[in-house]
Amino acid sequence: MPVTTRPSLVMARGAGSWLWDETGRRYLDFVQGWAVNALGHCPVEVRRALGEQGSRLLSPSPAYHNRPQLDLAEKLCALTGAHHATFCLSGAEANEVAVKLARKWGRLRRSGAWQILTTWGAFHGRTLATMAASGKPTFDALFPPSTPGFRRVAFGDLAAARGAVDDSVAAVMVEPVQGEGGVVVPPPGYLAGLRELCDRENLLLICDEVQTGCGRLGTFLGQSTERVSADVTTLGKGLGAGVPVSAVLANERASCLEPGDQGGTHAGNPLLASVALAVVTALGDPDLLAAVRQRGAEMRETLSSLARRFGGAQPRGRGLLWALVFDRPVAVELSAHALDAGLLVNPAQPNVVRFMPQLRTSPIEVELMAERLATAWARLD
Ligand SMILES: *Cc1c(COP(=O)(O)O)cnc(C)c1O
């Protein structure tokens, strides 16, 4: 089905920061499966876990415990301070679980409150409920009727969030930095302000860290860059480093799901859990996260200097999630020229080009990215 548009080339092979098409042409990949390949293409940790677990046990069914799932839950809770974890296959599915949890919590602990505050420009997934939770104006008209229970406010605006809270609201759901929305970094103190609001009004704070989590912003959770601890956190994308697995983490206050509330045939599958465990173990290395912050500073410097040279653009981002924001809608054209120059970048918005390199990208790759981007930029009309 023609569900999206794609260039005519066919991708065949990947290694580290590089992707090859079927003709053997090589691309420097600053999309990395949409911030999925946290450790680059086909990392040794993932290949080893797939091989070892793949020959031991693929699926005992979700009716039984399996060791990788237990170890992964323990590791994630130890890293984040959460008390409970459950697993799914996609970011959207993890966010659905967070929505279920908020609705149940509202029924039990907040006199039947069931609305969730979300933000304009947010992206929470493509299931019916997560489309309704997202703040993409075009989503509402696609498959009406839209799932009820979501109230949107301006992102980054604390007063708007405060003003939208009433007795029907159970939770606030937010990305620490809006990814698909175009790498929108909120003003300092925004997340802490939401935490305060949730504490004062007895609401759950849900952080959708599907894109910002797993080291992307230079700390294991993006919320830590603002010294905030959410009640519920969802992880996806980088968690499996190329393998589909997602997680929902909850603290003691929020965790209210009981047997029968949630499940899935492949949920907590040991093959996927063993990969995620290997990835999280690799990301637990403080040197790796320090390198993300260092590369992030280099990205800021590099993108700023290109913006000064060509004009009409501003960089924004954190860690290794970056964007160039143009004063004209040139993102699609620039990304196409970049592809011609052997560089993959993502037009996240008509005027925003997004960069999501693997977390182990090197200073040389950042320089090479800048050279190829300059070639593409020089071709813009
Ligand atoms: C990608 C993304 C999702 C959806 O994840 P899928 O795995 O595509 O379902 C949800 N939230 C955020 C913040 C994302 O970036």
Distance from residue 209's CA to the centre of ligand 1 (Å): 9
Amino acid at 7: P
Is-catalytic flag, 123?
yes
What per-residue confidence (pLDDT) applies to 381? 81
Q: Whose CA is nearest to atom 15 of ligand 1?
A: 211
**Strand ranges inside 48-180, DSSP E:** 84-88, 115-119, 150-153, 169-174
Closest atom of ligand 1 to 175 CA is 13
Distance from residue 316's CA to the centre of ligand 1 (Å): 20
Rounded CA separation 208/295 (Å): 24
Rounded CA separation 299/314 (Å): 12
What per-residue confidence (pLDDT) applies to 137? 86
Query: Hey, is 60 helix, strand or coil?
Result: coil
Using an 8 Å Cβ cutoff, are 211 and 180 in contact?
Answer: yes
Distance from residue 115's CA to the centre of ligand 1 (Å): 21
Write out residues with Cβ below 6 Å of ligand 1.
90-92, 95, 123-125, 175, 179-180, 208, 210-211, 236-237
- pLDDT tens for the 381 residues of the chain, in order: 999 999 999 999 999 999 999 999 999 999 999 999 999 999 999 999 999 999 999 999 999 999 999 999 999 999 999 999 999 999 999 999 999 999 999 999 999 999 999 999 999 999 999 999 999 989 999 999 999 999 999 999 999 999 999 999 999 999 999 999 999 999 999 999 999 999 999 999 999 999 999 999 999 999 999 999 999 999 999 999 999 999 999 999 999 999 999 999 999 999 999 999 999 999 999 999 999 999 999 999 999 999 999 999 999 999 999 999 999 999 999 999 999 999 999 999 999 999 999 999 999 999 999 999 999 999 998
pTM of the model: 0.98
Pocket test for ligand 1, best of 3, 97, 124 (most atoms within 8 A of CB): 124
158 Cβ contact partners less than 8 Å away, ≥ 6 residues apart: 189, 190, 193, 194, 197
What per-residue confidence (pLDDT) applies to 99? 98
Closest atom of ligand 1 to 212 CA is 13
Distance from residue 380's CA to the centre of ligand 1 (Å): 31
